[in-house]
Amino acid sequence: MSWTLTADAVRDLARGAAVLGTGGGGDPHVGALLAEQAIVAHGPVEVVPLNELPDDAMVVMVAMMGAPTVMVEKLPSLEEVRAAVQAAESALPEGTITHIVCAEIGGVNSTLPVAAAATLGLPLVDADGMGRAFPELQMVLPTLSGIAASPVSFADEKGNVGVVHTADNTWAERIVRVACVEMGCTIMITTFPQRGAQARTSLVKDSVTRAVQVGRAITDSRASNQDPVASVVEVLGGRELFAGKVVDVQRATTAGFARGRARIDGEHDVLELSFQNEHLVAQAGDTVLATTPDLIMVLEHDSGEPITTEGLRYGQRVRVIAAPSDPRWHSAEALQMVGPAYFGYAVEGHRFDGSPDHPEQEDVA
Amino acid sequence: MSWTLTADAVRDLARGAAVLGTGGGGDPHVGALLAEQAIVAHGPVEVVPLNELPDDAMVVMVAMMGAPTVMVEKLPSLEEVRAAVQAAESALPEGTITHIVCAEIGGVNSTLPVAAAATLGLPLVDADGMGRAFPELQMVLPTLSGIAASPVSFADEKGNVGVVHTADNTWAERIVRVACVEMGCTIMITTFPQRGAQARTSLVKDSVTRAVQVGRAITDSRASNQDPVASVVEVLGGRELFAGKVVDVQRATTAGFARGRARIDGEHDVLELSFQNEHLVAQAGDTVLATTPDLIMVLEHDSGEPITTEGLRYGQRVRVIAAPSDPRWHSAEALQMVGPAYFGYAVEGHRFDGSPDHPEQEDVA
């Protein structure tokens, strides 16, 4: 059943999305401020369950592309959202957009679509393209379903607007990314326009609800003097990997991405986190504890406040948790797109819950 | 009166355009081959004088963007021309394109539009955007008339197609250029869509005719044992600056451009040519002989065959000639866009014909 997302719930959504953003995706509070502003101006947003989408709905992802390190300094505006959606509509032979959906349920791209939906007076689908955050445009489950990212529309704060139809989804990432970098490292985009019938099978369901639950678990645990980190682990069906102090952070913003490493000293051991916008590998000595596509999250030790990769600082006391990704991310094809090797990490593909990494190969055996 | 451009005349056009390309713009023979092929398949092209354009004509420039050094290795196809024009038409609220025009009368972009016109069954306007060749998209006289480059459409050989509406013409250059580099350093674009009424004042008239005349002057002089270089100088109202042997060429393809310098040893003196796709400064010692926006051309000593910057080789015996540009290029605003300082050359603005560089300031005085 549809439910109504109010300005109050946006705070929980933002906190939950910061957790599910696995360190990346940009600060969701930036999008939350915009969402609250849009809801005050235009009213609350209707959130539609994925299985209630009409077959002929026209769903598009609305997202911000860019380096999270830049996003926190250069705030998006609703003007750019409108410009990008308008450009998408003019490029869609299928006509009017009926629903907005999140590309990722992590980071700013979980809350910005709320702002877009409120501003445009459109419902938001309770779903997203990945069940987490990933750094590149093509890295959504619809790519694996053969759905085109094109037309991709984009807009910046200077009034530049564009639409591309690309040979494949990786070309969409390549062309729009260089345009994004040239336009100042953040732009608003719309992508993966699809019919309701396609969306129902290509997307991850209940993502918005899940993010609100995660955020609320943190808020409620704090209010009742319980351990927020433990409550997040429970909601996500995850596990705590490590606790310690941040002792070193190296980061660089290159080619539109925030890349780097963090070292966390524990009681007996040292954890090394590698990130490219998101945390992608957690390793203690030679032991790989978790890797992309599973979710690796860094939370402040006591408050459970999620810490983004650009928020990591020397001296922070943190706990690192992991949770299983949508199982579709563990197919061989998916791992080629988002596995550790794609990002240049020489670690074995590793499935957090202990089951083998290529389940569909087992089906064949 | 309209005239018909046949496959035979395309050869003269190509040779003339190689002269007017002032060393850049890509090898026009690449476009000529495509134009001949298109004329054989679809019939000759009607060339319409600028002053006969109907007010409500919809004229667009069709051009290749990229590094000339790459263009000679990666040939364009008529498929990309069609894709770019189709994308432009879908983005133009004004509707159907009625005429094709050259962005520049130098290089490949003088002959490619012939191929486009033949393929699309549209007339070509006897005009161009600059009366020569320049390396960047915004560097056309319509920019000075306040005409928008947008929508700019682009297409590559891989099937990638895009359209941008930019904040200004410089942003069009910036965004489409980075996309071009990412797409492999050559793409087909359409730009500066404008009504006939605008085109009649914003463009340089009779450019196609002039390029054919220059090409024919070379051919005829050779046939009658006259000096081809002298005949080109006469047609263009120019002057021979220097004769000598190429003794050094330095070039690099950076950020999508072919940049470099050439040294030519004469009987008593040394000429240094600086280029960025086109020849932009000709200097003998401390004496500047000619600079952009005036035309600097390098011709083979005896045959008068134009030599592009990427064709310059050690040991070539050449003659360097210059001719005045369209006078509109010498306004203060125009010189900011295409004067030596814009390209990073620390030489004084210099008007080839000896008259002062800012004629409109004289009018005021």
3-state secondary structure B301-325: CCCCCECCHHHCCCCCEEEEEEECC
Nearest CB partner across the interface for B161, out of A161, A165, A182: A165
Choose the closest CB to B167 out of A160, A163, A175.
A160
Report pLDDT for A24: 86
Predicted pLDDT of residue A364: 37
Least confident of A301-310, A329-338, B41-50, B66-75: B66-75
CA angle A310, A316, A318 (to 5 degrees): 95
Q: How far apart are CA B249 and CA A141, in angstroms?
A: 52
The confidence band for B259, taking pLDDT boundaries of 50, 70 and 90, is confident
pLDDT at A68: 66
Q: Which residues of B31-60 are buried (b: 16+ CB within 10 A; e: fewer)?
A: bbbbbbebbeeeebbbbbbbeebeeebbbb
Mutate to test the interface with B, among A138, A183, A185 (most CBs of B within 10 A): A183
Contact check, Cβ <8 Å, A161/B165: yes
Cβ neighbours of A343 (radius 10 Å): 21
Give the closest-approach CA distance of A106 to chain B in angstroms.
28
CB distance A179–B178 less than 8 Å?
yes
How far is the alpha carbon of B128 from chain A, nearest alpha carbon, in Å?
A: 26
Phi and psi torsions of A2, nearest 5°? -65, 150
pLDDT band at B363 (very low <50, low <70, confident <90, very high): very low
Confidence of residue A74 (pLDDT cuts 50, 70, 90): confident
> Does residue A193 contact residue A88 with C-beta atoms inside 8 Å?
yes
Q: Which fold has domain B3-207?
A: CV3147-like fold (3.40.1610)
Total beta-carbon pairs less than 8 A apart between chain A and chain B: 62
Closest CA to A88 of A118, A62, A127, A115: A62
Residues from chain B that touch A90, judged by Cβ atoms under 8 A, are 91
Residues of chain A in contact with residue B91, where contact means CB-CB under 8 angstroms, are 90, 163
Q: What's the whole-number mean pLDDT along residues A53-74?
A: 87
What is the reported pLDDT for B242?
A: 95
| Residue B257 clears pLDDT 90, i.e. is over it | no
CA distance B351 to chain A (A): 35
Topology match between the domains A3-207 and A229-361: no
Q: For B167, which of A159, A174, A181 is closest by C-beta distance?
A: A159
**Residue A30 confidence (pLDDT):** 83
Give the best-scoring range by mean pLDDT among A23-32, B120-129, B354-363: B120-129
Q: Which residues are paired to A287 by β-bridges?
A: A284
The confidence band for B109, taking pLDDT boundaries of 50, 70 and 90, is very high
Q: Which of A157-161, B44-48, B230-234, B355-359 has the lowest mean pLDDT?
A: B355-359
The listed range with the strongest mean pLDDT (A285-289, A355-359, B348-352, B361-365) is A285-289
- In chain B the beta strands, taken as DSSP E runs, fall at 3-5, 45-49, 58-66, 99-102, 124-128, 152-155, 161-165, 186-195, 204-205, 239-254, 257-265, 270-276, 278-284, 287-291, 295-300, 317-323
Question: Which residue ranges make up each domain of chain B?
Answer: 3-207, 237-361
Chain B CB contacts of A180 below 8 Å: none
Return phi, psi of residue B144, to 5°: -70, -20
> Bridge-partner residues for A91, per DSSP?
none
What CA–CA distance (Å, rounded) separates B171 from B160? 20
Instruction: Look at residues A212, A20, A44 and name the one whose alpha carbon lies nearest to residue A115.
Output: A44
Distance, CA of B173 to chain centre? 16
Q: Are A158 and B179 a contacting pair at CB < 8 A? A: no
Of A158, A160, A174, the CB nearest to B164: A160
Take residue B55 and report the two structure tokens written for it.
Answer: 């007010």
Judged by CB atoms closer than 8 Å, whether chains meet at A165 and B165 is answered as no
Q: In the 3-class helix/strand/coil scheme, how is chain A assigned residue by residue?
A: CCEEECHHHHHHHHHHHHHHCCCCCCCHHHHHHHHHHHHHHHCCEEEEEHHHCCCCCEEEEEEEEECHHHHCCCCCCHHHHHHHHHHHHHHCCCCCCCEEEECCCCCHHHHHHHHHHHHHCCCEEEEECCCCCCCCCCCCHHHHCCCCCCCEEEECCCCCEEEEECCCHHHHHHHHHHHHHHCCCEEEEEEEEEEHHHHHHHCEECHHHHHHHHHHHHHHHHHCCCCHHHHHHHHHCCEEEEEEEEEEEEEEEECCEEEEEEEEECCCCEEEEEEECEEEEEEECCEEEEECCCEEEEEECCCCCECCHHHCCCCCEEEEEEECCCHHHHCHHHHHHHCCCCCCCCCCCCCCCCCCCCHHHHHHC
Task: Give the closest-approach CA distance of A161 to chain B in angstroms.
Answer: 5
Measure the CA–CA gap between A156 and B166, rounded to whole angstroms: 10
Residue contact A162–B178, C-beta within 8 A: no
pLDDT score of A365? 34
User: Which amino acid, residue B136?
Assistant: E
Average pLDDT for chain B: 92
B contacts of A79 (beta carbons < 8 Å): none
Locate the chain B residue with the closest alpha carbon to A177: B179
- Cβ of A167 within 8 Å of Cβ of B159? The answer is yes
Cβ burial B165-191 (10 Å sphere, 16+ → b, else e): bbbbbbbbbbbbbbbbbbbebbbbbbb
Q: Using CA coordinates, name the residue in chain B closest to A89.
A: B91
How sure is the predictor about A311, in pLDDT bands with cuts at 50, 70 and 90? confident
In the predicted structure, residue A67 carries a pLDDT above the cut 80: no
Burial code (b: 16+ CB inside 10 Å, e: under 16) for B274-292 equals bbbbbbbbbbbeeebbbbb
Chain A residues with beta carbon closer than 8 angstroms to that of B159: 166-167
Contact B181 A178 (CB under 8 A): yes
* Alpha carbon distance A145, A318 (integer Å): 37
Cross-strand bridge partners of residue B164: A162, B152
Q: What is the DSSP letter of B50?
A: G
Q: Chain B: which residues have CB within 8 Å of chain A?
A: 87, 90-91, 158-167, 171, 174-175, 178-179, 181-183
Residue B12: burial class (beta carbons within 10 Å; 0-12, 13-18, 19+) = buried
CA nearest to A195, candidates A206, A183, A203: A203
Instruction: Report the distance separating Cα B9 and Cα B66, nearest Å.
Output: 26
Which chain A positions have a beta carbon within 8 Å of B158's beta carbon? 167, 171
Q: Which top CATH class is B237-361?
A: mainly beta
At A362 the pLDDT is 42
Residue A93 in tokens? 């032979």
Determine the distance from the C-alpha atom of residue A142 to the mean position of all C-alpha atoms in its chain, rounded to a whole number: 14
The CA distances from residue A176 to A68, A79, A151, B80, B267, in Å, are: 16, 19, 11, 19, 53
Cα–Cα distance measured from residue B101 to residue B106, given in angstroms and rounded to the nearest whole number: 13
Q: Which residues of A touch B (CB under 8 A)?
A: 87, 90-91, 158-167, 171, 174-175, 178-179, 181-183
Task: Report residue A247: phi and psi, to 5°.
Answer: -115, -15
pLDDT(A337) > 60: yes
Is residue B67 very low, low, confident or very high in pLDDT (cuts 50, 70, 90)? confident
- The minimum CA-CA distance between A175 and chain B, rounded to whole Å, is 5
Nearest beta carbon to residue B158 from set A87, A158, A171: A171
pLDDT for position A361: 43
List the single residue in A90, A171, A179 with the smallest CB-CB distance to B175.
Answer: A179
Classify domain A229-361 at the CATH topology level: CV3147-like (2.40.390)
Top-confidence residue, A342 or A69: A342
Q: Give chain A's end-to-end CA distance (angstroms, integer).
A: 40
The b-or-e profile of A46-56 (16+ CB within 10 A means b, else e) is: bbbbbeebeee
> For residues A126 and A255, what is the distance between their CA atoms, to the nearest angstrom?
32
Q: For residue A338, how far is the Cα from the chain centroid?
A: 13
The three-state (H, E, C) secondary structure of B142-182, written as one string = HHHCCCCCCCEEEECCCCCEEEEECCCHHHHHHHHHHHHHH
